[in-house]
Structure 1
Amino acid sequence: MSIRPVVEARSAKPTLEGAGVHLHRAFGFQDPTELDPFLLFDDFRNEDPAYFQKGFPWHPHRGIETITYVLAGTVEHSDSLGNTGKLGAGSVQWMTAGRGILHQEMPLGNAKGQMHGFQLWGNLPSSMKMTDPRYQDVAAQEIPEVIDDDGTRVKVIVGEFWGKKGPVEGIAADPQYLDISIPAGVKKTFRIDTYRRAFAYVFEGQAAFADASQPTGVLLEKEVMGQEVNIRDMSGDRTLIRFGTGDEITVQAGPEGVRFLLISGAPIEEPVAWHGPIVMNTQDEIRQAIADLRNGTFVAPAH
């Protein structure tokens, strides 16, 4: 067994997106090889509807998959194929844009005006860039949850974990997408296949992630529930942890516990040509996509 080194820990940056949605971006529109096959990760969280209600009006996608995971509030969506729907708290939508789709996503919040969700973009290999669009909408009750003896809870959205299989299937990047909660002071190790690129995103509480150079993950500074934890080195809310190569990560939860996403996938290792929500392999393909948008041939006709 080998601990994956922590290559980087960085805070998500405030960003405006869509028609004026205030969100935090953990990564995106930078070096696409860092977390290949993943391209972008946004955390949209607010308690004031003025900061999210303008939403993400009609826009195109081609060559990628978008994964929306809602924790609080609702998101209404519709697209150029005639699909409409609403994502509620705890639900997931995995959209394969393929050859092209126009859609909109409008966050509504809950009765208290709160909205919280995540959106992840996954790249598609060249062989699937022009496949037909499809959706996988998953309700909260369809997502299996595993509870360990120490109180650790893991929601398995995609992939297999601790004998449970997530409901989203047939994804190009062979991803694993887990929502993990660890109680205060608990130390936990998770296996990740060596061939996968992996990252964690902390969004509640704090945790120390063990590094290969410091396998304990602590510097013996403060005791939390009988275990010594270096609070200074802990990663807190809205922190991205990018891991290097290995087959496991070890996490030490802080004094209030921690909740984070653990996401990994098989790298595609192909050239990336990127123009906003359109991601292809060459600039010629980008130019063709823009031409298709102009002449009305970007998307397939609605059925």
Structure 2
Amino acid sequence: MKVLRLTKAQATQDGAGVKIQRIAGFDGKSIDPFLMIDELKSDNTQDFIGGFPAHPHRGIETFTYIRKGGFEHQDQMGNKKAIRAGQVQWMSTGRGVIHSEMPLADAKQGMHGFQIWLNMPAKDKMNPPKYQDSSARPLPTITTDSKATLTALAGEWQTAGKTVTSELNQLAGDGAISDISLPVNSALSLDLSHFGKVVAYIHSGQLKDTVHQAGYLLTLDPKTPIVLETAEHEAGLLLLAGQPINERIAHMGPFVMNTQAELQQAVRDYHAGLFGNI
């Protein structure tokens, strides 16, 4: 496995004061087709109780994954759904969405989750918005002989001679996301050479190389075999793969377009009420 870059997540706040660790890629190169990886991990209710009140988006896809606790999603399309531990929710915002994500009452024992942004190609940024979640059935999982597990959050995954496909398989940039758990002294191998970008965010424990530990993003060479290994410590990580979009990015808060003029139009449309309301 060849690690091309090691990036540490940065502490910040978003929404109504929610404390998160963030990997930002708004340069349109470093993690393309992904734009941002936010991790919310805390046992202190005050770190996340404010949630993410109603706000707009245009030009991106949002992907939310909950490992502990839960959020209630609501949007102007009429969707209102609780997303709990082990579930995911995807939204292609297209030409405009207003949504909120507020912590569930039973999240008092802590929260651990992610919101990932994906860029949309210019040709799709003004498409009608879409919503999908995994609440109807469990996400598919592969368990290896060494008890390592891969849960397919989005897209298709192959390892240990098995293939699993999440029902969420229409992400921009052919995006695929999995959550991998590695017990002590275990390994999991993958061939991801058909992707142009592969990154791994370690959310717990550490890999065999002690430099690779929780809170770090590894940019991997997709053309070499990927072997994730542990020694005396367990590890948990998100593995993200996709095809770079390679387009110019103009970013302003919740909007990601291709030009400054498009951003200004998004702001005008939002203030004119064209995104609807919840």
Range of TM-score over shorter length: over 0.9
Segments of structure 2 that go 5 or more residues without pairing to the other structure are none
Distance in 1 (alpha carbons) for counterparts of 2:91 and 2:106: 23
Distance in 2 (alpha carbons) for counterparts of 1:109 and 1:16: 21
Distance in 1 (alpha carbons) for counterparts of 2:170 and 2:196: 17
Larger Rg, first or second structure (1 or 2): 1
Distance change (3 Å), C-alpha of 1:113 and 1:182: closer
Contact in 2 for aligned 1:90/1:139 (Cα 8 Å): no
Distance in 2 (alpha carbons) for counterparts of 1:278 and 1:106: 20
1:40 to 33, 36, 39: 36
Distance in 2 (alpha carbons) for counterparts of 1:207 and 1:188: 11
Contact in 2 for aligned 1:75/1:108 (Cα 8 Å): yes
Contact in 2 for aligned 1:73/1:109 (Cα 8 Å): no
Q: Determine the structure 1 residue equivalent to 2:130.
A: 134
Q: Determine the structure 2 residue equivalent to 1:147.
A: 143
Distance change (3 Å), C-alpha of 1:12 and 1:254: farther
Q: Cα deviations across residues 124-156 of structure 1 (Å, max 9, x unaligned)?
A: 111110111111111284300111112111101
Q: Determine the structure 2 residue equivalent to 1:206.
A: 206
Distance in 2 (alpha carbons) for counterparts of 1:286 and 1:124: 14
Distance in 1 (alpha carbons) for counterparts of 2:272 and 2:108: 43
Q: Following superposition, which runs of at least 4 residues in structure 1 exceed 4 angstroms of deviation?
A: none
Distance in 1 (alpha carbons) for counterparts of 2:133 and 2:187: 33
Q: Determine the structure 1 residue equivalent to 2:83.
A: 87
Contact in 2 for aligned 1:72/1:109 (Cα 8 Å): no
CA shift at 1:159, angstroms? 1.8
Q: Determine the structure 2 residue equivalent to 1:100.
A: 96
1:160 to 146, 156, 159: 156
Distance change (3 Å), C-alpha of 1:101 and 1:189: same
Q: Cα deviations across residues 18-77 of structure 1 (Å, max 9, x unaligned)?
A: 11001111224x422111110000000111111101011111100100000001111012
Task: Give the letter aligned to residue 7 of structure 2.
Answer: R
Distance in 1 (alpha carbons) for counterparts of 2:151 and 2:180: 6
Contact in 1 for aligned 2:18/2:47 (Cα 8 Å): yes
1:17 to 4, 14, 19: 14
Contact in 1 for aligned 2:149/2:182 (Cα 8 Å): yes
2:4 is aligned with 1:7 = yes
Please report the RMSD computed on the Cα atoms of aligned residues, expressed in angstroms: 1.8
Provide the identity percentage.
37
Task: Give the letter aligned to residue 169 of structure 1.
Answer: N
Of residues 6-15 and 42-51 in structure 1, the stretch that sits farther from structure 2 once superposed is: 6-15
2:266 is aligned with 1:260 = no
Distance change (3 Å), C-alpha of 1:155 and 1:189: same
Distance in 2 (alpha carbons) for counterparts of 1:113 and 1:90: 16
Mapping of residues 160-239 of structure 1, within 5 Å: 160-161=156-157, 162-208=162-208, 233-239=210-216
Segments of structure 1 that go 5 or more residues without pairing to the other structure are 209-229
Task: Give the letter aligned to residue 23 of structure 1.
Answer: I
Distance change (3 Å), C-alpha of 1:32 and 1:167: same
